[in-house]
Chains A and B, each alone.
Chain A
Amino acid sequence: MSYVWTIAEQSKGKLRGVSFELLSRGRKLADKMNTQLCSVLLGSNVSDEALQELIYRGADNVYFIDDPRLENFIVETHSNVLSDLIREYKPHTILAAATSSGRSLMPYVAIQVNTGLTADCTELDIEEGTKHLLQTRPAIGGNIMATIKTPNHDPQMATVRPKSSRPLPEDTGRVGKIIRLSLKDELVDNRVEMIGFRKDLEEFVNIEEAEVVVAGGKGMKKQENFGMLKELAKRFDGVVGASRDAVDRGWLPYPHQIGLSGKTISPKLYICAGISGSIQHLAGIKTSETIIAVNTDPDANIFQLADFGIIGNLFEVIPKLNQRLENYKKEGK
């Protein structure tokens, strides 16, 4: 049937935003091959409205395997189920999100169904003639863009970097089918047990899926100074990130770390202060849409990537910027 599949993600019955980003990617590929786009969701307790939104945002069909045993992501069970679906329906292409679950599930599935997989793609296309999926990803710290294909194996599989594409607008005129499938007992793997979930950080952030990230580095000098960045982030409905230096100093916990040993992000707007820009850090922010940097050193690496750079003292610039944005909000200019 050679359909294009995207793997939707849910958390506690709610669809996660990446599910819709994947559909906008998948729609382009399906249209190019003149085929259907299916959203595949493994989960539990997802409302009909949520499933319908998958159709409004690009899917032709939704396969929903609804079972309490799929509520929490357990890679062994989820990969058994997905591999079973792949063997049965033989999709042409599968796109999943490069999230903590997508990046665990897909490499496991690639071995189970014996096909290739390309990680963390930022561009996807279909090759004329062969219909192979052309998968482009940054490698070697973002210094090269490699285009990869899987010529002799099916399906064609890639994970896609969150925030590297925008969801399609909701089109309530779109019609599609919601197909509910039941979970086969033999696919449930009980070896691993989820015994809890911890979320005890005051502000647990998901910097990979934020539209705006405001980050600080060594130049912030101390933890208390991150207050001004939090304020700035709040003005953009964004979140606060940090360089490795700042995390190593204990100013922010590890989930905030941006760069090769932390998170790779592609926000709409990235603002950073007191970050000089190590190769590792730059690799983590290279695909950001707009980058604004504040640093005292005009030769700092970070300025080479900046769309707008301010050479100056962040302790003077950031508070002034906050004040200015406050006035801007009040006066609308």
Chain B
Amino acid sequence: MNIIIPIKQVPETSNVKMDKETGTMIRDGVESVINPLDLYAIELGIQLKEIHGGKVTVCTMGPPSAQKALREAIAMGCDDGILITDRKFAGADTWATSYTLSEAIKNMGSFDLVLAGERATDGDTGQVGPGIAAWLNIPLATYVSHVDEVTNTHITVERLVEEGYQILKMPLPTLLTVVKEVSDPRLPTLRGKKKARATEIPVFSTENMNLNEGSLGLKGSPTKVVKIDYPKVTRGGKMVSANGEEGINAAIDELIKFLEEKELI
């Protein structure tokens, strides 16, 4: 089973502090990591390979420094990494990104499965995975939380929807975007890290891919950002301390008054 996993490098924000005045995050010295949701896709890919054989190729579109993310994925157990990088790719929206990634995937030879995280924690759109499926004209299941069965021709998955889990039998090749429930990502091993350092990472760019230049990067993106606002998210709400029997009662009195004012009770 040949599996391709497009991943994204994002700012590491799990331990980031907030600016007390503005309520925005303090981004100084924030490191780059593999998008946390992509780790679930990577783990699933490695597990499927362990059971069914084949290989797992990770790829990422980004600056040359994004190869660090590819090496991390290889250290976890992926076989190959491909860096998709070119100045012309910069500033791509989800439409142009999914176009470029789908063309890169076409250049990777035959595959059975494309696995992606449901969304990236920075852009937070969840549109690139479905976009790749549409460009490749292969079936798509989003929000996949469980793989039930894999045969030579099909994969049966459960996708988490508003009312429960939809169970879909998908023909291969297919694209799945996965949520956290699908797997529990392993840590890289020492041996894996050694292998990752030694693995050669091929580079895909406009020079070795046959791309429509009008569909690339900022220029080729249908959507344009026209304005960025930094909203002050701090609400400056009312704060009360609830200490001791009386303190707690007083705090709850205040809260009841607040709920009444807001017409919430």
Contact = CB atoms under 8 A, between A and B. Distances in A.
Interface of A: 11, 16, 72-76, 79, 99-101, 103-104, 106-112, 114-120, 134-135, 138-153, 189, 191-201, 204, 206, 208-209, 236, 254-255, 257, 260-262, 264, 268-269, 278-280, 282-283, 286, 290-292, 298, 301, 303-313, 316-317, 320-321, 324-325, 328
15 contacts: A76-B140, A110-B134, A115-B222, A138-B124, A140-B122, A143-B230, A147-B228, A148-B224, A290-B264, A298-B239, A307-B237, A307-B238, A310-B239, A311-B242, A317-B252
B161 to A, nearest CB: 4
B124 A316 contact: no
B179 A254 contact: yes
Contacts of B126: 103, 107, 119
A208 B160 CA distance: 13
B148 to A, nearest CB: 9
A278 B14 CA distance: 7
Nearest to B249: A320
A301 B25 CA distance: 11
Given A119-B94, A209-B162, A310-B242, A304 B121 contact: no
A73 B18 contact: no
A146 B160 contact: no
Majority-rule SS of B interface residues: mixed
A110 to B, nearest CB: 6
Interface of B: 13-14, 16-18, 20, 23-25, 36-37, 93-95, 98-99, 121-131, 133-135, 139-143, 145, 156, 158-171, 179-181, 221-231, 233-235, 237-243, 247-249, 251-252, 254-256, 258, 262, 264-265
A199 B170 CA distance: 20
A229 B240 CA distance: 20
Given A116-B223, A142-B233, A305-B235, 17 more contacts: A104-B142, A107-B130, A111-B134, A120-B124, A141-B121, A143-B233, A144-B228, A192-B169, A195-B168, A197-B164, A254-B180, A255-B160, A303-B239, A309-B239, A312-B242, A317-B251, A328-B265
Contacts, number: 279
A197 B166 contact: yes
Contacts of A112: 134
Contact of A147 (B98, B123, B225, B255): B225
B265 A119 contact: no
A198 B167 contact: yes
For the complex of A and B, list the 4 residue pairs with the smallest distance between their C-beta atoms, beginning with the closest.
Answer: A312-B242, A116-B222, A199-B164, A111-B134
Nearest to B16: A279
Contact of B171 (A109, A191, A262, A308): A191
A291 B234 CA distance: 11
Contacts of B94: 107, 110, 117, 119
Given A112-B134, A119-B94, A145 B221 contact: no
Contacts of A140: 25, 122, 124
A290 B262 contact: yes
A306 B240 CA distance: 11
A109 B98 CA distance: 13
Contact of A198 (B13, B158, B231, B234): B158
A168 to B, nearest CB: 19
Nearest to A201: B164
B98 A111 contact: yes
Contacts of B17: 301
A153 B222 contact: yes
Nearest to B184: A248
B25 to A, nearest CB: 5
B13 to A, nearest CB: 5
B77 to A, nearest CB: 21
Contacts of A254: 145, 160, 179-181
A280 B121 contact: yes
Contacts of A76: 139-140
B219 to A, nearest CB: 11
B69 to A, nearest CB: 17
Contact of B233 (A73, A153, A192, A305): A305
A119 B130 CA distance: 12
A79 B167 CA distance: 19
Contacts of B125: 119-120
Contact of A304 (B23, B140, B163, B264): B23
B142 A100 contact: yes
Contacts of B158: 198
Contacts of A204: 163-164
A308 B165 contact: no
A261 B36 contact: yes
